[in-house]
């Protein structure tokens, strides 16, 4: 029970820091300078191409499709409505929190792009949340049908989603705290789905 509470606490603190331009944002600036220094010194162009491809895993058209296919597959296999319900609730949680948050908070991106009135800001990271919530939910759904592969699938999914967040920072698309905030939100959503719906299978 303490897991989602701690994540919520971190999310609240980060949101407050972004809204008030608090001292923790210095970590954002230091991280950006450090990572962009690595990027500038990188001798292999393919690394940037790989990072760009990896960020695309956060597109709803990709990760959302994986979630939808997995939910339908497992629902049919197990003859249960729970995987479909979990997928639907995950989508509602994603679009019902991230998009309003980005609009209301309106944080500029690391490249200094201004946020027009009513436009989407950069906090929290939409790509990180989309990849993590959709693929994370898909992994949990898969695990209900193939429990012996649960650890492997969940570990691989965590690696993919962490990679999305890191590559967004690498490509200078997001600040560190944008990504961390989405990670906290993801943890809360997945914990709730697993405890309230999928674990009842």
CA distance 181 to 133: 13
pLDDT, tens digit, for every residue of 25-48?
999 999 999 999 999 999 999 999
Which H, E and C letters describe 54-119, residue by residue? HHHHHCHHHHHHHHHHHHHHHHHHHCCCHHHHHHHHHHHHHHHHHHHHHHHHCCCCCCCCCCCCCC
Quote the CA–CA distance of 186 and 190 in Å, as a whole number: 6
- Does residue 199 carry a pLDDT above 90? no
Q: How far is CA 50 from CA 53, 64, 72, in A?
A: 5, 21, 30
CA distance 192 to 170: 31
Residues 141 and 154: their CA atoms lie apart, in Å, by 10
Confidence of residue 120 (pLDDT cuts 50, 70, 90): confident
- Encode pLDDT of 92-108 as tens digits: 999 999 999 999 999 99
Q: Report percent pLDDT > 70 for the chain.
A: 99
User: How far does the chain reach from its first CA to its final CA, in angstroms?
Assistant: 20
Residue 40, judged by CB atoms within 10 A of its CB (0-12, 13-18, 19+), counts as exposed
For the chain, what is the domain count? 1
Query: What is the rounded average pLDDT of the residues 140-151?
Result: 92
Q: Are 169 and 27 in contact, with CB atoms under 8 Å apart?
A: no
Residues in Cβ contact with 119 at an 8 Å cutoff, skipping those fewer than 6 apart: 103, 106
Instruction: Note whether 61 and 156 are within 8 A (CB).
Output: no
- Residue 112 CA to residue 75 CA, distance in Å, equals 45
d(CA 200, CA 162): 28
Structure tokens at 127: 């790509």
Mean pLDDT score, 166-186: 98
pTM of the shown model: 0.95
pLDDT of residue 201: 54
Show the domain range for 91. 2-200
């Amino acid at each position: 029970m303490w897991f989602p509470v701690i994540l919520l606490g971190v999310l609240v603190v980060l949101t407050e820091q972004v809204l008030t331009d608090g001292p923790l944002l210095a970590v954002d600036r230091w991280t950006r300078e450090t990572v962009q220094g690595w990027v500038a010194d990188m001798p292999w162009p393919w690394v940037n191409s790989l990072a760009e491809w990896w960020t695309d895993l956060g597109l709803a058209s990709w990760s959302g499709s994986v979630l939808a296919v997995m939910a339908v597959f497992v629902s049919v296999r197990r003859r249960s409505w729970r995987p479909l319900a979990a997928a639907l609730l995950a989508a509602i949680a994603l679009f019902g929190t991230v998009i309003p948050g980005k609009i209301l908070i309106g944080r500029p991106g690391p490249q200094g792009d201004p946020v027009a009135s009513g436009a989407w800001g950069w906090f929290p990271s939409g790509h990180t949340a989309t990849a993590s919530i959709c693929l994370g939910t898909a992994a949990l759904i898969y695990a209900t049908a193939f429990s012996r592969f649960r650890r492997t699938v969940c570990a691989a999914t965590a690696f993919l989603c962490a990679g999305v967040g890191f590559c967004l920072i690498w490509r200078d698309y997001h600040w560190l705290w944008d990504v961390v905030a989405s990670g906290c939100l993801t943890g809360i959503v997945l914990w709730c789905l697993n405890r309230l719906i999928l674990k009842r299978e």
